[in-house]
Amino acid sequence: MTQVKSNVDEMYKGWQQIIKEYQNPDLGKSMWQTANSFAGLLIGWILMFYSLRVGYWLTLLLSIPTAGFVVRIFIIQHDCGHGSYFKSKKANDTLGVICSLFTWTPYKYWRKSHAIHHKTHAELEERGTGDIWTLTVEEYFESPMSRRFFYRVFRNPFFLFFVAPTLNFVIIQRFNYTKGWKNGENQSIWWTNFALLGLHVAGSLLAGWGNWIVIQLPIIAIAASVGTWLFYVQHQFEDTYWEHTQEWNYTLAAMHGSSYYKLPKILQWFTGNIGFHHIHHLSPRIPNYNLEKVHNEHEMMRQVVELTLWTSFKTITLALWDEKEKQLISFRQARMLRKANAI
């Protein structure tokens, strides 16, 4: 363990000092990003409403870029939750709460669970909060049949990327509750629900309840699926990093347990540069609009797994952590591995 830590310290020597200059939010950039994101969503809503006169096919087509603005607003909420979007904590929390009404995600509850994700990311003993359910090969085969069945269903790509995201954002997040959280996290769920009710009542009065529903559902479904996919691919790739508590290393968890998702510029813009996820995990205090700059200006920040839009689709079948080979593998690979070990 001492040797591994020494190698890591040498490989990424000085990263703490490097990131300091990028951690200061720029008020102008933050306000401009906020303005163009919310303006884009509003324009998308209006265009979708009038497109209903042409045909619902056009409405669904317009829901794609409109959902992109919701994803962008989620990134703003995400930065606010980390305290990186404004210098003022009050300003971060105020805007974060406003964003939560459009992402359908209770701000304080999500902020708490996401902070746990950052604190324990890739630590095998700390799985379960703010991450995607992941079992080791050994845990899977030692589980009762019922648990293996539910895990197979959960990790099925159709369920994981299309069904589960909508269920989570539309329904589950309305009723989440964690015992012992006493700083307003659980209460934020109910306040968000009341505010969402008011927003949807107002929208229904303006557009008609039927129109409002057929406009809102595809937007949140697409945005939720995209958000889930981003979170998945940034952590669930073949040569990712998982380790037991005693051997776990913060720097390795950030740089090897998070990918650089190299997206086309338009998709990078809509996703708020979150593809530079390795840098975000090194320092959540860096505003999203500074992440690319850190990546480009320092060679050590590019010593990570790079995924493109095409290569990222190859991660879809990965489901189990092989502790021996230190890789994520598919169910098929796990069966072959078990069969080989049984011979």
Q: Give the residue-averaged pLDDT of 197-218.
A: 97
The pLDDT assigned to 8 comes to 72
Kindly tell me if the per-residue pLDDT of 212 is higher than 50. Answer: yes
Q: N- to C-terminal Cα distance for the chain?
A: 33
The identity of residue 212, as a single letter, is W
Q: Give the residue-averaged pLDDT of 214-233.
A: 98
Instruction: Specify whether the CB–CB gap between 81 and 96 falls below 8 A.
Output: yes
Q: What interhelical angle do 209-233 and 56-82 show, nearest 10?
A: 50
- pLDDT band at residue 6, thresholds of 50, 70 and 90? low
Give the whole-angstrom CA distance, residue 46 versus residue 67: 13
The pLDDT assigned to 1 comes to 47
Ranges assigned E (strand) in 291-330: 306-308, 318-322, 327-330
Give the whole-angstrom CA distance, residue 289 versus residue 192: 27
Output the average pLDDT for the chain.
95
Residue span of the structural domain in which 273 resides: 2-342
The identity of residue 7, as a single letter, is N
- pLDDT band at residue 9, thresholds of 50, 70 and 90? low
Kindly tell me if the per-residue pLDDT of 50 is higher than 80. Answer: yes
Q: What interhelical angle do 89-103 and 107-120 show, nearest 10?
A: 100
Q: How many domains does the chain have?
A: 1
Q: DSSP assignment, residue 328? A: E
- pLDDT band at residue 247, thresholds of 50, 70 and 90? very high
Kindly tell me if the per-residue pLDDT of 5 is higher than 60. Answer: no
